[in-house]
Amino acid sequence: MVTLLTLIGMTIYQTRQEKREDDAPLATKSEEAFVETLVTGPNDTQAFQETEAAAQFEAVSDKTPLAAEEMSAYWRLMRWSMTQTFDELWERAHKDRYLTHLAQAPEKHRGELIALKLSLRRSASFEAPKNSAGAKTVYEAWGVTDESRGNFYCLVFYDKPPELPIHPDVHEEAQFVGYFHKLLSYQDPMDKTRWAPLLIGRIRWRENAARVALVQTRHVWSYWLWGSLAVTVMVAVWTNRYVERGRALLTRPQEVDHASIEHWLDTGLVEDETHTNDAVWPPEDDSQMDSEDASKT
């Protein structure tokens, strides 16, 4: 009984966990190939663009919120990323830039094209104001790399993969390639001011291998629980039937005395009472019996 109750409790707990996980936003693979949106125009491969961007970068400050004077450089970097595919950007991006490089010398790396592999923790979208890049909807994702540990990167992009959910709590893997804009300040849940490198570019969703393995393990665990519960119930039912059958064999019914029943119906007395009535009651006194014998003599 204890084992059965334990299995039932574990099954209920596992079912609730699966329901909770199912309610969380998950990426869904798109059956159609994702087609990137491209626009024509100059980008950082032209020397004059780098010169114009350098002048705009002078208005950018680090470890502060986004300011109006910084938006011209912001939209220029967005426009640069819109003119090239993800693969083109990834091929020529720096893959050896870490959080420490950007934190120690943000001015040196401003406008650099950087490639990252991240674990995303939140995503959002917002309608963009009128801008020089012509972007209507802009997406934002926050994530960490193996090197940054718990320190976030802020990623801005306009072309969202269909697999990527937009939600304040996501657990997705992605590759990002974009231009470093600034160190953006923000308030964490403890109301502490922190900062994150802000990059503007393109994102590519990757399947979360750890989550796939977890889901497969969860399914195996569920099958094991339900199977164990079914086997336990079957054993309990079989054991109960076996015990009841043993009790029935040990407690055999007494044979019916039909002669005694018929005698009782005829006389209204059981056999013991009949034998008692045949005897003299009360027994005669011995002296009385002797006197009767003398008179007869």
For residue 150, which phi and psi values (nearest 5 degrees)? -90, 5
Query: Which pLDDT band holds residue 287 (cuts at 50, 70, 90)?
Result: low
How many Cα atoms sit within 13 Å of 47 on the Cβ side? 0
Give yes or no: residues 174 and 235 share one domain: no
> Over the stretch 9-23, which tens digit does the pLDDT of each residue have?
655 655 555 555 445
> Over the stretch 222-239, which tens digit does the pLDDT of each residue have?
666 666 667 777 777 777
Q: What CATH number should be reported for the domain holding residue 117?
A: 2.40.50.140
Domain-embedded: residue 11: yes
Give yes or no: residues 169 and 216 share one domain: no
Is a pLDDT exceeding 70 seen at residue 294?
no
Predicted local confidence at residue 11, as pLDDT:
57
Domain-embedded: residue 63: yes
Query: Which pLDDT band holds residue 71 (cuts at 50, 70, 90)?
Result: very high
Give yes or no: residues 19 and 121 share one domain: no
Of 163, 181, 204, the position where a domain reaches its end is 204
Query: Which pLDDT band holds residue 199 (cuts at 50, 70, 90)?
Result: very high
Is a pLDDT exceeding 90 seen at residue 277?
no
Predicted local confidence at residue 160, as pLDDT:
95
The candidate with the shortest Cα–Cα distance to 84, out of 200, 198, 181, is 200
Question: How many domains, the chain?
Answer: 2
- H or E segment to which residue 200 belongs: strand 193-206
What is the domain extent for residue 197? 30-204
Domain-embedded: residue 289: no
Give yes or no: residues 75 and 185 share one domain: yes
Give yes or no: residues 3 and 41 share one domain: no
φ/ψ region of 114 (left if φ > 0, alpha if ψ in -120 to 50, else beta) reads beta
- If you average pLDDT over residues 113-132, what whole number do you get? 96
Give yes or no: residues 199 and 213 share one domain: no
Query: Which pLDDT band holds residue 278 (cuts at 50, 70, 90)?
Result: low
- Choose between 142 and 242: higher pLDDT: 142
Domain-embedded: residue 287: no
How are beta strands 153-157 and 193-206 bridged, if at all?
parallel
Give yes or no: residues 200 and 225 share one domain: no
Query: Which pLDDT band holds residue 63 (cuts at 50, 70, 90)?
Result: very high
Domain-embedded: residue 110: yes
Give yes or no: residues 136 and 182 share one domain: yes
- If you average pLDDT over residues 205-211, what whole number do you get? 75
Predicted local confidence at residue 204, as pLDDT:
96
Q: Is the pTM of this model over 0.85?
A: no
